[in-house]
Structure 1
């Protein structure tokens, strides 16, 4: 038997997505705060040198994941979770500006469509954005009460091990995206499975009915 362990294939986000996340983190933590995270994560090559604003696949899942893990290492699980959620919400602001015009849905929130249809269209377009521009793989599902955002290849918890679901940035991003699509309504967004915790997918459940 061959005793060699195969090197796991690396996957990528486009540079633009990596840049957006770092800029969003800077909004929350400040420039020095982000630099501290990058240094502790052994990503000093990104200090004062964010990825360029292009769609080249150059920002690795490993880099993305270790940044998220380092938030927990620096601030504790609860503190890291809060920062990641806030960074996810800020990420949406920049992602909307950079990606939505390309997909032609900038006026989605203003269309006279029933709320449920707008949410389904929005989630489909968001999933397609990741599937088209990155190596992240997302598919959609639903049950009687929830829409399901199912990440089959997840950069946030890539190669991480966690006792509980840890893809908090994705939750913050979806919360803000749903608020935009629904023109200010709020939905309960909860991660119910996580690859880092041993599950097959990172699945986020979104209530079909808004809570506010």
Structure 2
């Protein structure tokens, strides 16, 4: 099975989303502190372009998110969750981003099907934008399961607990956007992580709001 390593190049547009998410949550000074802690201060005046080029590596991206954890302490996981949400929101607000917007089908499909279509479009878009990505989407009971064999958040990390809170936030924001709900109808929980030795990062999206199809 082909997977990613810390040396794997990462798409500029996705790297930029993370940086914009950090700035949205921590502010300009917080972004500067994060870049310094991650030994990426050179990006302070030269953010990655919002394009398909791959000028940075997964090691740099992972280092960036680890720096957020180090700076925010016990609240690190929740902070990363909000950064993931902010990163997705930034991608939607900037049409120059090559990541295809999830289809606006919320008015014509039941909510459950809309969530599936949204995440399917997101997975396909991410794999088109970053060809190294290997993502699967499954239905399990009343929920959905997102499997990422090439996670850009934890590649190269070792941890006894899941560390990909930024991805959980990103997925929650995508579902909220696709279903047209400000509060996501699905609770996103990472139940397995490559940092802990799993073959993929596994995110369970469990329906928490009844009704709506």
- Normalising by structure 1, we get a TM-score of 0.87
For structure 2, the 5+ residue unaligned runs are none
> Distance between the aligned counterparts of 1:124 and 1:150, measured in 2?
12
Partner of 1:170: 167
Of residues 100, 118, 128, the one that matches 1:132 is 128
Deviation of 1:107 after TM superposition, in Å, equals 2.4
Deviation of 1:192 after TM superposition, in Å, equals 0.4
Is 1:143–2:143 an aligned residue pair?
Answer: no
Verify the 8 A CA contact 1:188 1:211 in the aligned structure 2. no
Deviation of 1:208 after TM superposition, in Å, equals 4.2
1:82-117 Cα shifts (integer Å, max 9, x gaps): 2111111111111223468864645233x3111121
Is 1:89–2:91 an aligned residue pair?
Answer: no
Mean Cα deviation higher: 178-187 or 25-34: 178-187
Q: How many residues align?
A: 203
- Compared CA separation, residues 96 and 128, structure 1 to 2 (3 A): same
Alignment of 1:171-190 (within 5 A): 171-184=168-181, 185-190=184-189
> Distance between the aligned counterparts of 1:188 and 1:9, measured in 2?
29
Is 1:113–2:122 an aligned residue pair?
Answer: no
- Compared CA separation, residues 168 and 194, structure 1 to 2 (3 A): same
- Compared CA separation, residues 192 and 64, structure 1 to 2 (3 A): same
Mean Cα deviation higher: 50-59 or 122-131: 50-59
Deviation of 1:12 after TM superposition, in Å, equals 2.7
> Distance between the aligned counterparts of 2:6 and 2:71, measured in 1?
28
Greater radius of gyration (CA): 1
- Compared CA separation, residues 148 and 106, structure 1 to 2 (3 A): closer
Of residues 38, 41, 62, the one that matches 1:41 is 38
> Distance between the aligned counterparts of 2:119 and 2:103, measured in 1?
14
> Distance between the aligned counterparts of 1:153 and 1:27, measured in 2?
26
Verify the 8 A CA contact 1:35 1:48 in the aligned structure 2. no
For structure 1, the 5+ residue unaligned runs are 1-7
Verify the 8 A CA contact 1:137 1:151 in the aligned structure 2. yes
- Normalising by structure 2, we get a TM-score of 0.87
1:149-202 Cα shifts (integer Å, max 9, x gaps): 000011100101111101000111111111111121421110000000111110
- Compared CA separation, residues 40 and 84, structure 1 to 2 (3 A): same
